[in-house]
Structure 1
Amino acid sequence: LTTPAPDPSQAYAVFRIPRLHLRVPVAEGVGRRSVLNKGYVGHYPGTGQPGGAGNFALAGHRNSHGEPFRYVDRLVPGDTVRVETRSAVYTYAVDRTLRQTSARDSGVIARVPRSSVRPAFGYTAPGHYLTLTTCTPEYTSRYRLVVWGKLVSARPR
């Protein structure tokens, strides 16, 4: 039940966070003009796809262009996140947050996500992960806020 890689800039899933009343399309890529500035949540190319092993990593604006990740800092362990594709619905449970790291901390979107700046944050073993990244503090792009979760269910549509 994994999703194949879509074409660049193409919306291919719906991202939902029930507690935040958020529902937004997911598109391939994290380019500002081609994806993020259209109000989409962007999938980091080269990271896993929904439901697959590894890390399904997403980026979203916090304070502009629909601000889909405006309130992700309010997520707490146990909150659910759903990713709906044509073929399946994947549910992830939030379990960790890194409140601030470098904008260049590529470890947070690695196959086994772990901060390369603050190595106490992240995971140490392979799994089925979800990573959400956005800018912090609000109205700046100086640092990144990272929220992680693990896959808890996958069901066909």
Structure 2
Amino acid sequence: MRASVVRAVRPVPLVQHSTLRRRARRRRVLWGGGEVLVTVGVVLALLVVHQLWWTNREARRGAERKVEALEREWGAEGGGTGGAGASGGSPSSGDGTSSGPQSSRPSRTGPSRTGAAAGRRSYAGTADAALPRRSQAYAILTIPRLGLRVPVAEGVSKPDVLNRGYVGHYPGTQQPGQAGNFAVAGHRNTHGEPFRYLPRLRRADTVEVETRTATYTYTVDKILPQTSSRDAGVVRAVPRSLVRPSYGYSEPGYYITLTTCTPEFTSRYRMVVWGKLVSMRPRR
């Protein structure tokens, strides 16, 4: 009987200190890895919040203040309101005359006559005696369908213009109201995203540009949903896509070009909206 009892008792395995240490290290590694993953997740979440909320908030507030500052500056100079919905008069080439698309067609002398050099001479003859400085906000873009009212600054630098919530004027293209192409760019996502809803525009929608001297009204005429980010033809004096030549124009005119990235949250392609100048009202 005693022997059978002894045989029934199994030996208790001994836990070595090395085994305990391995288990402890494993727990520390798993715990540390979990902490790292949680920390990375929190950092990524904060980055998303910063990009999608904070940059928009700050850029929009800054853009609104700049619009108000321009309006005060122009009002102090006796320029009147020149508000949205301006009409009357004829489109001008920028020299204050009444010649333009409604009264007479531009001379068919090719892009060289409506290029940047000709535009600078015309612009210099207006009350805005000097060309805008780099990154200077000098106009206000209004798109009623989008509820948008945003400053236009010279250049398309991200840190100095676009990331501040402004719309940037492509250097070398024409100024508002001039014969040729007044071309601008704006963010579609983050940093104020002024052009986020650009795809909502339709033909005959109005786009207005206010400057120190006048308000210019354009109507949307053509929309290019997607093209290469290197498609320089869309901002030429006579705009036409080099990638999709069926989109664009073949003769001189008074154009506006709005460009932004597409699809959303990428910068791989560009969307383009073109309009034609239909009216000009001097500020009084």
TM-score bucket (shorter structure): over 0.9
**Corresponding residue for residue 28 of structure 1:** 154
Aligned equivalents of 2:224, 2:147: Cα separation in 1: 22
* Ranges in structure 1 where 5+ consecutive residues have no aligned partner: none
Q: Over residues 38-65 of structure 1, what are the superposed CA-to-partner deviations in whole Å (9 max), with x where a residue is unaligned?
A: 1000000000000000000000000011
Tell me the matched-pair count. Answer: 157
Aligned to 1:146, the other structure's residue is in SS state: strand
Aligned equivalents of 1:139, 1:85: Cα separation in 2: 31
The structure number with the bigger radius of gyration is: 2
Aligned to 1:68, the other structure's residue is in SS state: coil
Aligned equivalents of 2:221, 2:203: Cα separation in 1: 4
Please tell me whether residue 42 in structure 1 is matched to residue 164 in structure 2: no
Aligned equivalents of 2:250, 2:132: Cα separation in 1: 29
Aligned equivalents of 1:14, 1:94: Cα separation in 2: 17
Aligned ranges for residues 61-100 of structure 1 at < 5 Å?
61-100=187-226
Please tell me whether residue 102 in structure 1 is matched to residue 228 in structure 2: yes
Please tell me whether residue 150 in structure 1 is matched to residue 279 in structure 2: no
Instruction: State the shift of 1:19 in Å.
Output: 1.1
**Corresponding residue for residue 261 of structure 2:** 135
For 1:112, the aligned partner's letter is: V
**Corresponding residue for residue 137 of structure 2:** 11
Aligned to 2:233, the other structure's residue is in SS state: helix
In the alignment, which of 222, 235, 242 is matched to residue 116 of structure 1?
242
Identity, % of aligned positions: 70
Alignment TM-score, normalising by the size of structure 2 = 0.55
Q: Over residues 119-145 of structure 1, what are the superposed CA-to-partner deviations in whole Å (9 max), with x where a residue is unaligned?
A: 000000000000000000000000000
Aligned equivalents of 2:275, 2:198: Cα separation in 1: 12
Aligned equivalents of 1:37, 1:12: Cα separation in 2: 17
Instruction: State the shift of 1:34 in Å.
Output: 1.1
Greater helix proportion: 2
Greater strand proportion: 1
Q: Over residues 63-118 of structure 1, what are the superposed CA-to-partner deviations in whole Å (9 max), with x where a residue is unaligned?
A: 01100001111100000000000100000000100000000000000000000000
For 1:126, the aligned partner's letter is: P
RMSD over aligned CA atoms reads 0.8
Q: Over residues 4-36 of structure 1, what are the superposed CA-to-partner deviations in whole Å (9 max), with x where a residue is unaligned?
A: 531100000000001111000000000101110
* Ranges in structure 2 where 5+ consecutive residues have no aligned partner: 1-91, 95-122, 125-130
Alignment TM-score, normalising by the size of structure 1 = 0.98
Instruction: State the shift of 1:155 in Å.
Output: 1.0
